[in-house]
């Protein structure tokens, strides 16, 4: 079954608001080898979810990094990888999400594991999130771009964003009408808040289904996966 269709029909009640789409949380046993055990709060097997979850392979993708002026091929990114999606004009949910992940990034620097972890933050609003906007957003969100382990990725078009973020990764988003804030000229998004922790073998260790992933918990998960892969 198509992942997006399953999200709409297979997980029961869905609450949607501009900026965030909320469903029941669930992951479960997958088929790949993982370092972390399934989370205690799992309600569904990974194969029944509309996005890659514990023990499943994270789909590969290729997207431009406008700040480095090159294309990133996810399968070529070594080590432990944290992947999420956002849009820079988001007034609330993405601010919380990226803010928490910035804390995780800072933790990797402090622990001396920054070279073993890569953060890939994909915008699904390429129309507005050009290189200048992403650079300014990184500064606003206290991303340490000098650490060399955070990359903003920008699909070439809205259709490409839909193909990678929504269809491949299962991070659903829908463009809606004019926003209610001057920061959102013309349109806004309803979207899922989802962050993946991928191990060096390309398998999902965690799918954090929240716009407020606890940065200390995520950092501990990241460090555990890094330690297991570097022993």
Task: Give the pLDDT of the chain (231 residues) as one tens digit per residue.
Answer: 344 433 433 333 333 334 443 333 333 445 579 999 998 876 788 989 999 999 999 999 999 999 999 999 999 999 999 999 999 999 999 999 999 999 999 999 999 999 999 999 999 999 999 999 999 999 999 999 999 999 999 999 999 999 999 999 999 999 988 644 445 567 899 999 999 999 999 999 999 999 999 999 999 999 999 999 987
What pLDDT, on a 0 to 100 scale, did the predictor assign at position 231?
A: 78
CA–CA distance, 23 with 33 (Å, rounded to integer): 27
Q: What is the pLDDT of residue 64?
A: 98
pTM greater than 0.95 (yes/no):
no
pLDDT of residue 28: 43
Q: Please give the structure tokens belonging to residue 120.
A: 């890939």
Average pLDDT, rounded, for the chain: 87
Confidence at residue 44, expressed as pLDDT on a 0 to 100 scale? 80
Q: List Cβ<8 Å contacts ≥24 apart for 72-75.
A: 72/120, 72/151, 72/153, 74/120, 75/202
Class of domain 3-230: alpha beta
Domain locations along the chain: 3-230
């Amino acid at each position: 079954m198509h992942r997006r269709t399953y999200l709409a029909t297979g997980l029961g009640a869905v609450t949607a608001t501009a900026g965030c789409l909320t469903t029941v949380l669930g992951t479960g046993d997958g088929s790949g080898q993982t370092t972390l055990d399934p989370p205690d709060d799992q309600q569904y097997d990974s194969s029944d979810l509309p996005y890659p979850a514990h023990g499943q392979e994270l789909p590969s993708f290729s997207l431009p990094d406008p700040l480095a002026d090159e294309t990133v091929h996810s399968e070529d990114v070594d080590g432990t990888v944290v992947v999420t999606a956002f849009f820079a004009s988001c007034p609330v949910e993405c601010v919380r999400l990226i803010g928490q992940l910035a804390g995780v990034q800072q933790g990797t620097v402090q622990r001396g594991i920054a070279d073993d972890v890569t953060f890939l933050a994909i915008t699904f609003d390429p129309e507005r999130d050009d290189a200048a906007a992403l650079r300014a957003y990184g500064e606003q969100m206290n991303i340490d771009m000098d650490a060399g382990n955070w990359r903003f990725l920008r699909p070439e078009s809205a259709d490409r964003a839909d193909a990678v973020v929504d269809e491949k990764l299962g991070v659903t988003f829908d463009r809606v009408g004019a926003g209610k804030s001057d920061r959102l000229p013309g349109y806004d998004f309803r979207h899922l808040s989802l962050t993946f922790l991928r191990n060096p073998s390309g398998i999902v260790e965690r799918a954090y289904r929240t716009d407020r992933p606890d940065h200390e918990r995520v950092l501990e998960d990241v460090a555990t996966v890094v330690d297991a892969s570097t022993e």
